[in-house]
Amino acid sequence: MPAKKSTAKLKSVKPSGKRDENFFELVFEVARQIPRGRVTSYGAIAACLGTKLSARMVGWAMNGAGKVRPKVPAHRVVNRNGMLSGKHHFTPPGSMEKLLKKEGVKVKNDTVVDFEKLFWDPVEEIGF
């Protein structure tokens, strides 16, 4: 019999109970847990969901996050180097940086200053 994965650490990522729970919904649930003033990466969210190689799919999810309710703080998700690689999906232009700065996150040349210090790792916080 295969061993069951423990989900004890996943206290705040709860299945909706729907049979059609999809990857994007799980991405949104993880992103909603990123604390104010912190950032994470597309790859870190993918790793948290057990699909380490799906960072691009996380990016696609963040691309459509502006239309999702409850709100998803997509501005807190950056690339693995701390760059605001998804900034062009925000309207008006510059609003991703503006939202981060409003939370106390410094940005210089489209990159989060002190990225390593501000990085929130969902694998450690809520992951498997």
Q: What are the percentages of helix, strand and coil residues in the chain, rounded to 5?
A: 40, 10, 50
The CATH architecture that domain 23-125 belongs to is Orthogonal Bundle (1.10)
Distances (CA, A) of 54 to 63, 75, 107, 108: 14, 19, 26, 27
78 beta partners: 41
Comparing CA positions, the residue from 13, 100, 24 lying closest to residue 60 is 24
Sign of the dihedral through C-alpha 96, 101, 105, 109? positive
**pLDDT tens, per residue, the chain with 128 residues:** 554 444 444 444 444 444 445 899 999 999 999 999 999 999 999 999 999 899 999 999 999 999 899 999 999 999 999 999 999 999 998 999 999 999 999 999 999 999 999 999 999 988 65
pTM above 0.85, yes or no: no
